Amino acid sequence: MGTMPDHLSALQLILSGDPALLAIVRLSLGVSLAAVALASAIGMPLGALLALTHFRGRAVLVVLLNAMMGLPPVVVGLALYLLLSRAGPLGELGILFTPTAMVIAQTVLIVPIIAALTRQTVEDLWVEYHDELRAMNVGALGRMTTLLWDARFSLLTALLAGFGRAAAEVGAVMIVGGNIAGFTRTMTTTVALETSKGNLPLAMGVGAILIVIVLAINAAAWGTRVWSQRVTG
């Protein structure tokens, strides 16, 4: 009998629920979801604060934040590696080449995206509700809370965009995670490694799942936008 074609082998791995493949997917989703949670806790308040306050140097900070949306992952990975390595200032934490380091790397990449999108969204709403909120004598914290709540549908799209960035990232997590089988190997690093090794069935199987996840994220973002227009329309 001939050897099964690579694409059929990949399909077989997916349909049979191959343990190694499922472990890789679970780790990838866990790391990315944790990173999005942390990034939202940091990025949303930061973005709202930038939208509602004015101070010297604010314009420079906004430009810098927007520029950081395109941070090269390998540069982030290198910076974190230098910080977390044994010779680095945070080396005593012992988290290099662990999922924790991977979460930190993805968080650094996602925070600018969520913060920048939050700032723009809240700033637009502030222009719309400025007079009303001032007339009601709503304080700074109340303004921030009110506008973030009103922008919840748009911010959900920002979170999905952040998750998509995290799920598709390879450079930073490979540097700080080490791509250790069964411990820090994610979907993107698996595709890169297994392709170079010639193990195409596993690479194709993981790649197919990653494509499905990315498509699902984009569909969810589009659906959220349509739903929000109907709800607020």
Q: Say which CATH topology domain 18-232 has.
A: MetI-like fold (1.10.3720)
Q: What is the predicted pLDDT for the residue at 97?
A: 94
Q: What is the predicted pLDDT for the residue at 70?
A: 87
pTM for the full predicted model: 0.86
Q: What is the predicted pLDDT for the residue at 230?
A: 72
Q: First and final CA of the chain: distance in angstroms? A: 62
Q: What is the predicted pLDDT for the residue at 160?
A: 85
Please answer whether residues 167 and 217 qualify as being in contact, where contact means their C-beta atoms are separated by less than 8 angstroms. Answer: yes
Task: Return the SS3 of 76.
Answer: helix
Q: What is the predicted pLDDT for the residue at 4?
A: 65
Give the closest residue to 40 by CA, choosing from 118, 122, 133, 141. 118
Rounded-to-integer distance, Cα 88 and Cα 94, Å: 11
Mean pLDDT by 10 residues, the chain (233 residues): 66 83 91 94 93 88 90 93 93 93 95 93 86 78 85 84 87 91 88 85 88 84 74 63
One-letter identity of residue 22: L
231 burial class (0-12, 13-18, 19+ CB within 10 angstroms)? exposed
Q: What is the predicted pLDDT for the residue at 114?
A: 94
Distance from the Cα of residue 129 to its chain's centroid:
30
Q: Where are the domains of the chain?
A: 18-232
